[in-house]
C-alpha cells in the first residue's frame, strides 16, 4: 500500500475542538486577544447541547461573554420569558421540569433562548472575531509528539488534530489546543488520562453497585399545546402525573413498555432529581403553547454513549422511537394535546456523564466543602448549591490546574470536560453560564501562553479572572 499523506487544511495559534458553550467562548476569547483561531464543530452551528441539543435555558448574565450573549440574544428577540402569570398553575405542577417542586401559585420568572436563532447569532459572533470555523467537521484523532525537555519534562504535545470534512481527512495544526467536546474526546485521543463516566450514585441513595453513567437525554419540542386544558384534566380527573391516561394507553397496548413510569416512582435514582426514569417532563419554550420535552435514556440501560458506537446508536434509535410513541400517546389520550405537533427533535443527544479528565488538580466536593484556597484560583470565591450533598450551599474557588490535563502540555480543558470529580461536574459545574465562563478562561489562558511562547502548562495564573 502506498503511504497516504493527510493534507493540512489550516494552521493556527489556537485550535478548539467542539463549539458548545465552552469551546465557543474559548475560541471567541482567544481571537479577541489577537490569536489566529480554528474551531472544529461536528454540527452546523455553535452552542452544543444548548442549540443543536435544543436545551436553550437562559438566565441573568454571570459576567464576561455570558452576559454579552444574554444581551445579544435579548436584542435579537431570541429570549422567551414565562411566569406564573403567563402560565397559571405551572408552579408546583408535577409535569414541570423546573418548577414542579414549588408551592402551587408561587410567582417565578424563567427564560429560555431560541436554540436555532441563538446558534446562528453565536456563529456570527465568531465570524466577527475572525475565528475560522469548520462546521460539519468531525474530530477523529490527535497527533502527539514529545514536548521539548527544557519546557515541561516528560509531557506530550499535540502537533495536529485529524478531522473528517466534506473534503475527506484533513489535519489542523496548532500551538495550543482546547478540548470543548463536552466528553473529553480530545483528551482521550491524545492519550491523556481520564475516568470513564458511570461513577455511582449520590451518598445515601440506594445503589446496587453497578456503575451506570448518569443518563443523557434527547430534547424535543412540541407546539400547539393547550396547557389550561391539560391542567383542567389534571384537576378534574385527579390525574396530576397523568398516571390514569398512561394506564389506559398501556392497557390498550398503545405505548411501548418502559416509555413512562411515574416520576421517580419512590426509587429515586439521583436523590430528588428527575434524571433516570422516562417520564412526562416539560417546560415552556419559544412562545406560549410551545414546550420542550425531555426524553432521558433509562438509567438501567447503563449506556456509555461517548465511547461505545453500539450504545450511542441504541440511544439515538430508541429515544427517537420513544418520542414518536410519546407524541402519539399525548395527542390521542391527553386533553390539551389534541392539536399538538412535533416541532423539532434535537440533532444532539446530550451526554451528562462522559469521560472526566484527570488533570493537574482534580477538583472534588471536599474542596467545595472545605473551602480550599488555591493560589491559582481562576475565580473569586463563588457560591453555588451542590445537589450531591443534600442541596447544600458552598463558597469555593476553582484552580487553573483543573484546566490542565496530565501528560499533555499544550491542551486546555473547558465546559463539561474539566478535571472535576463526576459529582461536582454533574450536580453543579456543567451549566451553560459556568461552561461559558470556563471557555473564556481557557481562551484567555491559550492566548497568554501563545503570547509568551510557552505551553499553557507553564503559564503562571496568579489573579482570578472572574
Ligand X SMILES: Cc1cc2nc3c(=O)[nH]c(=O)nc-3n(C[C@H](O)[C@H](O)[C@H](O)COP(=O)(O)OP(=O)(O)OC[C@H]3O[C@@H](n4cnc5c(N)ncnc54)[C@H](O)[C@@H]3O)c2cc1C
With cell 427517537, the residue in question is 320
Compute the distance between CA of residue 417 and CA of residue 144 in angstroms, rounded to an integer.
19
Q: Given the rule CB under 6 A, which of 45-53, 114-122, 251-259, 381-389 is the region that contacts ligand X?
A: 45-53
| Residue 431 touching ligand X (CB under 6 A) | yes
3-state secondary structure of 342: strand
| Residue 50 touching ligand X (CB under 6 A) | yes
Compute the distance between CA of residue 245 and CA of residue 236 in angstroms, rounded to an integer.
13
Look up residue 71 and give its three cell numbers.
Answer: 444581551
| Residue 21 touching ligand X (CB under 6 A) | yes
| Residue 357 touching ligand X (CB under 6 A) | no
| Residue 455 touching ligand X (CB under 6 A) | no
Q: Given the rule CB under 6 A, which of 70-78, 234-242, 315-323, 412-420 is the region that contacts ligand X?
A: 412-420
| Residue 111 touching ligand X (CB under 6 A) | no
3-state secondary structure of 37: strand
Q: Which of 54, 30, 52 is nearest to 41 (CA)?
A: 52
| Residue 359 touching ligand X (CB under 6 A) | no
Dihedral of CA 219/225/231/237: which sign?
negative
Q: How far is the CB of 109 from ligand X (least distance, A)?
A: 16
Look up residue 304 and give its three cell numbers.
Answer: 456509555
| Residue 174 touching ligand X (CB under 6 A) | no
Look up residue 337 and give its three cell numbers.
Answer: 394535546
Range list of H helices, 241-308: 243-251
Which of 29, 37, 41, 263 contacts ligand X by CB under 6 A?
A: 41
| Residue 42 touching ligand X (CB under 6 A) | yes
| Residue 417 touching ligand X (CB under 6 A) | yes
| Residue 234 touching ligand X (CB under 6 A) | no
Which of 12, 15, 40, 334 contacts ligand X by CB under 6 A?
A: 40
Q: Which of 282, 284, 221 is nearest to 80 (CA)?
A: 284
| Residue 139 touching ligand X (CB under 6 A) | yes
Which of 394, 430, 448, 457 contacts ligand X by CB under 6 A?
A: 430
Q: Which is nearer to ligand X, 245 or 297 (CB)?
A: 297
With cell 422516562, the residue in question is 278
What is the arrangement of strands in the sheet containing 109-113, beginning at the earlier edge strand?
Answer: 57-58, 109-113, 79-83
DSSP string, 58-112: E-S--SHHHHHHHHHHHHTT-EEEEETTTSTT-TT-TTBTTTTTSPTT---EEEE
Q: Given the rule CB under 6 A, which of 44-52, 144-152, 311-319, 450-458 is the region that contacts ligand X?
A: 44-52
Q: Given the rule CB under 6 A, which of 284-292, 312-320, 357-365, 430-438 is the region that contacts ligand X?
A: 430-438
Q: How far is the CB of 320 from ligand X (least distance, A)?
A: 15
Q: How far is the CB of 52 from ligand X (least distance, A)?
A: 6
The answer to whether 40 and 172 are in contact (CB under 8 A) is: yes
| Residue 197 touching ligand X (CB under 6 A) | no
Which residues share a beta bridge with 12? 174
Which of 64, 119, 156, 180 contacts ligand X by CB under 6 A?
A: 180
Which of 36, 55, 170, 419 contacts ligand X by CB under 6 A?
A: 55
Provide the binding-site residues for ligand X, judged by CB under 6 A: 17-23, 40-43, 48-50, 52, 55, 57, 138-139, 180-182, 185, 216-217, 350-352, 415-417, 430-432, 435
Amino acid at each position: 500500500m502506498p503511504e497516504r499523506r493527510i493534507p493540512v487544511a489550516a494552521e493556527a495559534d489556537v485550535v478548539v475542538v467542539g463549539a458548545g458553550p465552552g469551546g465557543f467562548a474559548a475560541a471567541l476569547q482567544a481571537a479577541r486577544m489577537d490569536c489566529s483561531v480554528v474551531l472544529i464543530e461536528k454540527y452546523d452551528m455553535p452552542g452544543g447541547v444548548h442549540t443543536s441539543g435544543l436545551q436553550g435555558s437562559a438566565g441573568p448574565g454571570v459576567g464576561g461573554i455570558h452576559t454579552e450573549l444574554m444581551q445579544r440574544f435579548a436584542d435579537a428577540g431570541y429570549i422567551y420569558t414565562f411566569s406564573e402569570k403567563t402560565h397559571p398553575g405551572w408552579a408546583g405542577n408535577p409535569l414541570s421540569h423546573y418548577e414542579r417542586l414549588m408551592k402551587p401559585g408561587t410567582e417565578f420568572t424563567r427564560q429560555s433562548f431560541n436554540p436555532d436563532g441563538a446558534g446562528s447569532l453565536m456563529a456570527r459572533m465568531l465570524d466577527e472575531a475572525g475565528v475560522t470555523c469548520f462546521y460539519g467537521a468531525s474530530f477523529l484523532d490527535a497527533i502527539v509528539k514529545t514536548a521539548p525537555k527544557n519546557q515541561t519534562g516528560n509531557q506530550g504535545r499535540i502537533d495536529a488534530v485529524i478531522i473528517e470534512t466534506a473534503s475527506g481527512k484533513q489535519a489542523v495544526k496548532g500551538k495550543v489546543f482546547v478540548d470543548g467536546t463536552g466528553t473529553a474526546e480530545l483528551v482521550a485521543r491524545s492519550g491523556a488520562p481520564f475516568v470513564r463516566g458511570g461513577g455511582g450514585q449520590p451518598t445515601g441513595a440506594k445503589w446496587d453497585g453497578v456503575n451506570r453513567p448518569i443518563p443523557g437525554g434527547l430534547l424535543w419540542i412540541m407546539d400547539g399545546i393547550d396547557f389550561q386544558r391539560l391542567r383542567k384534566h389534571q384537576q378534574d380527573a385527579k390525574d396530576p402525573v397523568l398516571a390514569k391516561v398512561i394506564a389506559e394507553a398501556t392497557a390498550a397496548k398503545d405505548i411501548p413498555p418502559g416509555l413512562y413510569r411515574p416520576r421517580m416512582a419512590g426509587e429515586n435514582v439521583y436523590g430528588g432529581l428527575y434524571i433516570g426514569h422516562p417520564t412526562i417532563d416539560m417546560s415552556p419554550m419559544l412562545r406560549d403553547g410551545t414546550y420542550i420535552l425531555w426524553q432521558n435514556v433509562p438509567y438501567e440501560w447503563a449506556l456509555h454513549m461517548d465511547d461505545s458506537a453500539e450504545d450511542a446508536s441504541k440511544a439515538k434509535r430508541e429515544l427517537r422511537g420513544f418520542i414518536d410513541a410519546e407524541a402519539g400517546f399525548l395527542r390521542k389520550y391527553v386533553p390539551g394535546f389534541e392539536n399538538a405537533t412535533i416541532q423539532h427533535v434535537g440533532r444532539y443527544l446530550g451526554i451528562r456523564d462522559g469521560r472526566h479528565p484527570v488533570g493537574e488538580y482534580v477538583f472534588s466536593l471536599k474542596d467545595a466543602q472545605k473551602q480550599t484556597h488555591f493560589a491559582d484560583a481562576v475565580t473569586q470565591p463563588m457560591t453555588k448549591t451542590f445537589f450531591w450533598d443534600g442541596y447544600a450551599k458552598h463558597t469555593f474557588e476553582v484552580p487553573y490546574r483543573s484546566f490542565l490535563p496530565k501528560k499533555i502540555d499544550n491542551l486546555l480543558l473547558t465546559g463539561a470536560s474539566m478535571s472535576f470529580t463526576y459529582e461536582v461536574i454533574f450536580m453543579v459545574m456543567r451549566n451553560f453560564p459556568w461552561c461559558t465562563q470556563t471557555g473564556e478562561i481557557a481562551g484567555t489562558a491559550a492566548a497568554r501562553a501563545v503570547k509568551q511562547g510557552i505551553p499553557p502548562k507553564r503559564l503562571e495564573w496568579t489573579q482570578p479572572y472572574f
